[in-house]
Amino acid sequence: MAKPLKDKFTFKVMPLIFPTDNALEWRKLFKPCAAQRLFLPSVLSDIDSVLYVDTDTLFLSPVETVWDHFDLMNSSQIAALAPEHEDPNVGWYNRFARHPYYGKLGVNSGVMLMNLTRMRAFKWVEYVIPIYKNTNLK
């Protein structure tokens, strides 16, 4: 017999935490939760991996199917995201963004597989802060 869902997942509600030297700037950069994702490796310091999903995400298959993608990652991969869109004619980033984004169409951060252990080893947080400081997002 399969375990009840409540026995497979745990959750903990935590406050938003940003780097102390410019916390207000990070909070105003995007919606607060969007910027918070960048700092999950330091906020969740005792967690190995997370599947981050926006609250408007609907799973059409078992969530374990998405989680299984961690097993497909090689030792250098720290996160997995999907393109924001498939059609450049309707993509948001390529038509409206005034900030840097990845690739031709940007990525959708509403569903992310994040290996926090690898992100910490890569020093992700220390890497992302200078990128922000060197862009004109303020």
Residue 16 domain-assigned?
Answer: no
Tokens 């992700």, residue? 124
Task: Give the range of the structural domain holding residue 56, as residue numbers without chain letter.
Answer: 30-133
For residue 79, what are the β-bridge partners?
Answer: 114
What is the model's pTM? 0.82
**Given a cut of 60, is residue 138 above it in pLDDT?**
no
Number of domains in the chain: 1
Contact by Cβ (8 Å): 110, 57 = yes
The set of residues, in sequence order, having a beta carbon less than 8 Å from that of 98 and lying 6+ positions away, is none
What pLDDT band is residue 23 in, cutting at 50, 70 and 90? confident
Percent of the chain with pLDDT over 90: 41
Residue 119 domain-assigned?
Answer: yes
pLDDT in tens, 79-132: 999 999 899 898 888 998 877 888 999 998 889 999 999 999 999 988 888 887
Residue 81 domain-assigned?
Answer: yes
Residue 12 domain-assigned?
Answer: no
How far, in Å, CA of 78 to CA of 44, rounded?
Answer: 15
pLDDT in tens, 48-73: 999 999 889 999 999 889 999 999 99
For residue 96, what are the β-bridge partners?
Answer: none
pLDDT of residue 25: 79
Give the phi and the psi of residue 22 in degrees, each rounded to 5: -150, 45
Percent of the chain with pLDDT over 70: 93
Residue 23 domain-assigned?
Answer: no
Residue 8 domain-assigned?
Answer: no
- The DSSP call for residue 54 is -
Residue 39 domain-assigned?
Answer: yes
